[in-house]
Amino acid sequence: MCLGIPGQVVRMLEGYGGQLVLVDVAGDHRKVNVGMLPEETFAPGDWVIIHMGFVVEKTDRVGADKALASLELMGSGLAEGRDPDSAP
């Protein structure tokens, strides 16, 4: 599993060879490329996992919640005041 950010498809974007969607990521809308998953179809409301501007996985709400929880867990050490440059 790679580090991925969950988002929800808002709409397909015109042009771009049908490879761009507008995705809601924590309230911010971003253009994301779906070209790495040519066998998938995307529709408003679909949940996806995004890495480096590309959809790498289509998921559901439960999968999106798990991905977000993992991201929050990884960041929790920094929130507790740990120096990110120090050795564990």
What residue spans define the domains of the chain? Answer: 5-75
Is the dihedral angle over the CA atoms 26, 28, 34, 39 positive or is it negative? positive
Q: Give this prediction's pTM.
A: 0.78
The mean pLDDT of 3-15, rounded to a whole number, is: 92
Residue with the larger pLDDT of the pair 81 and 3: 3
- pLDDT, averaged across the chain: 85
Choose among 39, 32, 41, 36: nearest CA to 13. 32
Residue-wise pLDDT for 26-69, tens only, equals 899 999 999 999 999 999 999 999 999 999 999 999 988 888 88
CATH 2.30.30.140 fits 5-75, yes or no: yes
Q: Residue 76 pLDDT more than 70? A: no
Q: Residue 78 pLDDT more than 70? A: no
